């Protein structure tokens, strides 16, 4: 049995020792794969420990993120996010509105009523000439180190993405490397997030206000690195939102909408949001919620791949619930409505 990271309102998110899949014998490997698939099927979320990315690497990337967001606003604005196709660059406070709404006018109305209280930087693989990353100047030492460290972290996350997809394949009873041809290019996005300090009255006066609105993710899986502040909530089967409390040295991983399509609804993409963080025990009462940082690595199938329902996820004689889609086209369509 996996440990339980979250247990409330019929939401059970397992805490899984991923070293059992990476380094265990065949029995341990199959058990861990089964736990991972079960978590995605029932909660849409899992926590992984012993996942292979060192705590020092994660801490270093958080430090690089904080340094980037402390740059003058003019420097950040010069790196502006420029297209859904590229999905690279800086997004200032209030520009993005994550939501389940698909109509651009509806999204804009919600954005005006309750803009997401965050800023972010999107980083993709660095070898697409027509979709360049927006880096701060590498002529100064800080900019050079930021680029170097961020690209190295991107590659670490890419490796973990491939391993988690291998675990899903084992759980589904298909060849372990079945997803490799869909994940080897690394058409993924490393997103650095900064939620600035917010006065408590902002949440009190506007009940719609959140740091990031309720939504599901668009791709296959997301690797989420949290700081200690908290605020992430996951929707339970009862319809309530439950705190996904940070656990040191773990990664929260959730399934996205494209993986739900791919698995013929065998895997669940669950709504989540970022809200006013819960008070900590013995926390001094203040008028302001401190800043929050997180790092999300959004994993996608290679953008040139056609995504058809995995044959083994259909019962005998059952037709797939979803038509095939091109991975890149699907993601661009979803992102276009968000910004």
Return the minimum-mean-pLDDT range out of 22-31, 186-195, 208-217.
208-217
Q: Give Dmax (Cα) for the chain.
A: 62
Opening angle at CA 89, ends 290 and 191, nearest 5: 50
- How confident is the model over 107-117, as a mean pLDDT? 50
Could you tell me the pLDDT band of residue 287, with boundaries at 50, 70 and 90?
A: low
3-state secondary structure of 3: strand
Name the residue with tokens 């490997």.
29
> What does the pLDDT look like over 151-181, one tens digit per residue?
999 999 999 999 999 999 999 999 999 999 9
Reported residue count of the chain is 339
- Phi/psi zone of residue 29: left (φ > 0), alpha (ψ -120 to 50 degrees), beta? alpha
C-beta separation of 117 from 196 below 8 A: yes
C-beta separation of 192 from 123 below 8 A: yes
Strand partners, 230: none
3-state secondary structure of 271: coil
Strand partners, 326: 306
> What is the DSSP pairing of strand 11-17 with strand 45-49?
parallel
pLDDT at 279 (0 to 100): 58
Is the model's pLDDT at 111 over the cut of 80?
no
- How confident is the model over 222-251, as a mean pLDDT? 94
pLDDT at 208 (0 to 100): 42
Strand partners, 280: none
- How confident is the model over 107-114, as a mean pLDDT? 43
- How confident is the model over 38-64, as a mean pLDDT? 98
Give the Cα separation of 163 and 48 in Å (integer): 12
């Amino acid at each position: 049995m996996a440990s339980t990271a979250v247990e409330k309102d019929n939401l059970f998110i397992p805490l899984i020792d991923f070293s059992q899949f990476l380094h265990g014998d065949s029995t341990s490997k199959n058990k861990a794969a089964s736990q991972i698939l079960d978590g995605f099927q029932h909660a849409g979320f899992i926590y992984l420990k012993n996942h292979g990315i060192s705590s020092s690497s994660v801490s270093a990337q958080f430090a690089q993120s904080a340094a980037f967001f402390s740059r003058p606003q003019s420097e950040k604005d010069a790196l502006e996010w420029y297209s859904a196709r590229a999905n690279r660059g800086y997004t200032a406070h209030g520009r993005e509105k994550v939501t389940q709404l698909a109509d651009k006018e509806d999204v804009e109305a919600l954005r005006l009523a309750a803009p997401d209280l965050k800023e972010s930087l999107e980083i993709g693989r660095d070898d697409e000439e027509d979709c360049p990353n927006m880096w701060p100047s590498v002529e100064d030492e800080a900019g050079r180190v930021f680029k170097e460290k961020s690209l190295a972290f991107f590659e670490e996350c890419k490796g973990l993405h491939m391993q988690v997809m291998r675990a899903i394949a084992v759980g589904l009873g298909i060849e372990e490397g079945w997803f490799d041809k869909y994940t080897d290019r690394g058409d993924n996005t490393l997103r650095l997030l900064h939620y600035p300090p917010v006065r408590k009255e902002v949440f009190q006066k506007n009940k719609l206000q959140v740091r990031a609105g309720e939504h599901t993710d668009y791709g296959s899986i997301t690797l989420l690195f949290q700081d200690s502040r908290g605020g992430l909530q996951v929707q339970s089967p009862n319809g309530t939102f439950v705190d996904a409390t940070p656990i040191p040295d773990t990664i929260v991983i959730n399934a996205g909408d494209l993986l739900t399509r791919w698995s013929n609804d065998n895997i669940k993409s669950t709504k989540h949001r970022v809200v006013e963080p819960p008070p900590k025990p013995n926390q001094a009462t203040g008028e302001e919620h401190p800043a929050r940082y997180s790092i999300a690595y959004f994993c996608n199938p290679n953008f040139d791949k056609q995504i058809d329902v995995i044959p083994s996820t259909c019962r005998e004689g059952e037709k797939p619930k979803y038509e095939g889609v091109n991975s890149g086209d699907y993601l661009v369509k979803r992102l276009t409505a968000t910004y």
